[in-house]
Amino acid sequence: MIRSTLRRALIGAAFGIAALALPAGAQQAYPSRTITVVVPFAAGGPTDTVTRLVAEAMSRDLGQTVVVENVGGAGGTLGAARVAQARPDGYTLLMHHIGMGTTPTLYRRLSYDPVGGFETIGLVTEVPMTIIARKDIPAANLQELAALVRKETTKLNYANAGIGAASHLCGLLLQKAIDAPMTTVPYRGTGPAMTDLIAGTVDLMCDQTTNTTEQIRAGAVKVFAVTTPQRLPSLPDVPTTAEGGLPGMEVTIWHGLYAPKGTPEEIRLRLSRALQVALRAPALIQRFADLGTAPVAQDRATPEAHRAFWQADIAKWRPVIQAAGQYAD
């Protein structure tokens, strides 16, 4: 009895030593458990929709479940903070959008480093925007809408996902193009904002086609324009902003996948490979197309291409925000 206990203890110790002697990577191949992708906006919105499609396709390649966690609020900065402060082990990731380009200048006081706090995995998609309104708004086209905004100004309100959100930026561009102010109504994401727009409790919104296409087709909201130089095959009857009389009001919203700073290179490359596989999946491409978008080219779904694009976007927005002198704090 004593001898067999001793024997078990010795065998146990030997296994322990053997496990310690194994090189780190050989102990458990990555990924060995569920991966969480934080969406810094509410469920049901466009970033959430894109992320769920990508997460599902990536999980097939990674052989592990990839779950989405919505951490909305403060223009996406709460969710970004959560990931910047997470363990850099490849199990907590961030899917964000153009806000990663504007936040470093817009927000001067943050609890995390909005640039140095992250590693890039790859770009995902660039999504057109649509200008939409509650369906009973008394305007039949973009010109009439512009006239209404000039007449009513701050009596009209536009929903957005907080300062620095895509919907906020697009709303600013719209007000500048029309040359009249409106009242801002912030939400934790444009998923819940859409619910209020359909109910008619807010007047206007400018949001990604990944949130608006189905509501436009269903007639739940009134659409005025797409913010691209050409019409979209998914919404062929909707005029462009230029056709509607607001030339130059063009904007698309890029999305990228991030990991916390310090995530090992082999993990980042594994994730990047899985992202590239996901973006080639026929079902994902089809769903993206139905929602008015497309995956980026494969060579853009890499850490280097993503970082270069992100840095250029920060440099593009910095002078614009500084000239406007409007900060989030």
Site size with ligand ASP, rule: CB under 6 A: 17
Considering only 54, 161, 235, 246, the residue that binds ligand ASP (CB under 6 A) is: 161
Q: 82 vs 97, which CB is nearer to ligand ASP?
A: 97
Phi-psi region of 262 (alpha: psi -120 to 50; beta: other; left: phi over 0): left
Q: How far is the CB of 281 from ligand ASP (least distance, A)?
A: 21
Distance, in Å, from the CA atom of 170 to the CA atom of 207, rounded to the nearest integer, reads 8
Q: What amino acid is encoded at 133 in this protein?
A: A
C-beta separation of 86 from 57 below 8 A: no
Task: Show the site string, 168-187: x = touches ligand ASP by CB under 6 A, - = not.
Answer: --------------------
Other Cβ atoms less than 10 A from the Cβ of 186: the count is: 16
Q: Where are the beta strands (DSSP E) in the chain?
A: 35-39, 66-70, 92-97, 118-134, 157-160, 183-186, 204-208, 221-226, 252-260
Stretch that binds ligand ASP, among 159-167, 176-184, 259-267, 300-308 (CB under 6 A): 159-167
Q: How far is the CB of 242 from ligand ASP (least distance, A)?
A: 22
**Is residue 167 involved in binding ligand ASP (CB under 6 A)?**
yes
Residue nearest to ligand ASP (CB): 45
Distance, in Å, from the CA atom of 35 to the CA atom of 50, rounded to the nearest integer, reads 16
**Is residue 165 involved in binding ligand ASP (CB under 6 A)?**
yes
Q: How far is the CB of 166 from ligand ASP (least distance, A)?
A: 4
Considering only 79, 88, 189, 244, the residue that binds ligand ASP (CB under 6 A) is: 189
**Is residue 160 involved in binding ligand ASP (CB under 6 A)?**
yes
Distance, in Å, from the CA atom of 94 to the CA atom of 218, rounded to the nearest integer, reads 31
**Which residue is listed with tokens 């296409």?**
213
Q: 62 vs 177, which CB is nearer to ligand ASP?
A: 177
C-beta separation of 209 from 226 below 8 A: yes
Q: How far is the CB of 262 from ligand ASP (least distance, A)?
A: 27
**Is residue 190 involved in binding ligand ASP (CB under 6 A)?**
yes
Q: How far is the CB of 165 from ligand ASP (least distance, A)?
A: 3
Q: 187 vs 268, which CB is nearer to ligand ASP?
A: 187
Sites for ligand ASP among residues 2-61 (CB under 6 A): 41-42, 45-48
C-beta separation of 254 from 294 below 8 A: no
* CA angle at 30 for the pair 29 and 31, rounded to the nearest 5°: 125
C-beta separation of 190 from 211 below 8 A: yes
CA torsion sign, 145 to 138 to 211 to 195? positive
**Is residue 191 involved in binding ligand ASP (CB under 6 A)?**
yes
**Is residue 122 involved in binding ligand ASP (CB under 6 A)?**
no
Q: 46 vs 292, which CB is nearer to ligand ASP?
A: 46
Phi, psi of 67 (to 5 degrees): -100, 155
**Is residue 70 involved in binding ligand ASP (CB under 6 A)?**
no
Distance, in Å, from the CA atom of 157 to the CA atom of 185, rounded to the nearest integer, reads 7
Point out which residues bind ligand ASP (CB under 6 A).
Answer: 41-42, 45-48, 97, 160-161, 165-167, 189-191, 207-208
